[in-house]
Each structure stands twice: as structure tokens, then as C-alpha cells.
Structure 1
């Protein structure tokens, strides 16, 4: 694959930020506990996305039912890289995919206004076999981004895109070890 497939994210030496949108019940419980807890489901796949704008497209800026709360979830880079190492592209062999601990898909990255761009963003589906590791071991911090999401959406809606861009989380190319993402077409 080409440079259309880099991972862009907000990260530091130990952690990477992924975004998720939830119902108020799940978000409030996670924020109170500082980790995911009931009613968060450990029995279904959870999708994590390092692209803020892709999640804004997916959740319609936190307006989609069941996705009205946006969380920035800081996880360990070790956990993130483990997920990618164990991941399988969703376009692969259906039998192998059914057994995969982690599903990976590439979707067009989105602009501030939601238009598809000519490069891709990674979505990672952490399956039941790893979801406890994700929720109990990889997560280091959970931050409610909902107010900021609404502020950015309001600025975009008012034609003030330059101001909205200033509020976006910083994202840069993630230096993934080659072996961790080679089978996924990830550029490092």
C-alpha cells in the first residue's frame, strides 16, 4: 500500500489517543470510574479511532443516537501496537476474519465539513478476546470531549472554519514499528 495509509494520531512516548462515541450512560459511568465499566459491554466489539474528524463524521458531531458523548481515550502504545499486530483487515478471508481478535478497516479520512479526502483513516475493532485488556489494562485516561465537539461543530456551522480548526486535537504520523502493521498496509 502507499502513503495513503499512514496512521495519524495524538500521541506521546507512552500513549496514544483514540476516540469513541457513546450514550450518556456509558460515558458517564466511564468518566466517574476513570475506566470503562457497566453498562459498557465486554461481550461485543468496540471500535477505536485515532482520527478525531473521522469519528466526527461517524457520530455526526455527537448528534447520532447512542453516540451523543465523545470520549478521548488515552491508551498505552503497547496496547495499541498489540491490537494492530493481532488485527486482520475486514476485506480478508471471512473464515480468518471470524477468528480475528481485532478487525481493521481503512475508510476515507474526512475534512472538517465531512467531505471524504484522498487518504485513509484506520478504525480498529477490538473483539471480545481482547476487550478486557483494552478496558482494564490499556486505558490510562478518559476525557469527555463533548463540549469541545459541540463548540467546533457550532463554529463550522457558523462559517468560522479557521477558528474551528484551531480547536482540533493535534494529529501527526504515528511511528509504528514495521512488523506491527505490515500485514495491514500501515506506513510507518
Structure 2
């Protein structure tokens, strides 16, 4: 497994407790996002290092750079249809492009002057933005917000076939850590995550991250 990990409690002590932050594992050129799928979709992606087969390019697909948000959503790979957890490595340039094109999923969360302007922007955009409460390993909400991004159309096609640098099956790691998450966190290990700052001001402004 290429995922870089560290004890959860060590990371918890330095993570921001409040605010809108993109928490992620990244390096100079790439960033990891997570998705959960049923076996047929996941196996195709792992074997072919791209999405296809039963994966639908005609529907919106959501990516999450925050590991614990993905664990909350998937029940640590225990929910039906989310039995496999994939770590997808993307080019940072592409991820920042996603951020720049994001439109908030609700009018109240957007910076649009009117509901009509927001609705037009939402309908034409290929990227949908949501800030949700982040969660601890037991699924409890925390004050800090976590981002998820919905992709469709050409943006989704590029994500699934061109912009990714690799797809890794981290399901065995997730299942192992699920037992530690339910046992007081002392042995729980999670991916190393830091606050991600986009390379462009436009990307940062589009998603409204705290800086």
C-alpha cells in the first residue's frame, strides 16, 4: 500500500478543529481522493487503472479528499454498495481545475447575488460543491467542515480516464482500522492529512476555504 499513514490521535492534536478546510494527503504533483463502490465497479477500476465497466459516466459521481468523511459515508466499507474503498491519485492541476469550476449545491451556500443566477450556474456547471460536517472515527459530527465534490459530464469523463495517476484498493486497510476505530482509537491509524491550499486564488475563492 502506498498510502502514507500515522496514528490518528497524533494527527488529531494538530488538525484544525473548526473552519472550512480541504484536509487531504498530497505531494507536489498529486492529491488523493476517495470513493466507495460495489465490487464490480471497484474491481474493474483496480484492474484497468481507470473507470469503466459498470461505472456510469452519465450520473454524478462524488469524490472526497478527506478519509474520515469517506469512512463515515461508507460505514468503514460496511454499507451495501460501498464495500470497496478506492484511493484515487489525481494530478493537482486537475483537482484545482475542479475547484475553480465548483458551484455550491445550495443557494444559501453560494456567493451568487440571486437564486436565479445560482440556479443557472448550477445547471451549467459540471462540478457541484458541498461542505458537510466532518466526522470522527465513530461517525460523530465535529465542528470542522469537510468538502465533497460531485463531477458530471466531461469533467467526470476526464476524471475517470485521463486525469488520474493511479487507483489503489485500500479496502483491507479500512477493514483492519474499522476494528481499531471501535476500540478507543489507541491503535487507530489513518492516512496522513494536511490542510490543502489550491495553487490558484480562483480555486480557493470558488470553494470558500478558510485561509
Task: Please identify runs of 4+ aligned residues in structure 1 that moved more than 4 A.
Answer: none
Q: CA RMSD in A?
A: 1.2
Q: Indicate whether 1:163 and 2:178 are aligned.
A: no
Counterpart of 2:207 (choices 178, 184, 187) is 184
Give the whole-Å Cα distance in 2 for the aligned partners of 1:17 and 1:138. 12
Q: Which structure's CA Rg is the greater one?
A: 2
- Residue in structure 1 matching 2:62, options 47, 58, 65: 47
Does residue 63 of structure 1 match 2:78?
yes
TM-score (norm 1): 0.93
SS, match of residue 108 in structure 1: strand
Distance (Å, rounded) in 2 between the aligned partners of 1:36 and 1:74: 13
Q: Alpha-carbon deviation of 1:129? A: 2.7
Whether the 8 Å contact between 1:7 and 1:187 is mirrored in structure 2 is no
**Does structure 1 conserve the Cα–Cα contact (< 8 Å) formed by 2:99 and 2:206?**
no
TM-score, with length taken from structure 2: 0.83
Q: Does 1:76 align with 2:107?
A: no
Is there any run of 5+ residues in structure 2 with no aligned partner, and where? 1-17, 108-117
- Structure 2 residue matching 1:135: 3-state secondary structure: helix
1:8 aligns with 2:33: no
Other-structure match for 1:103: 128
Matched residues, number: 183
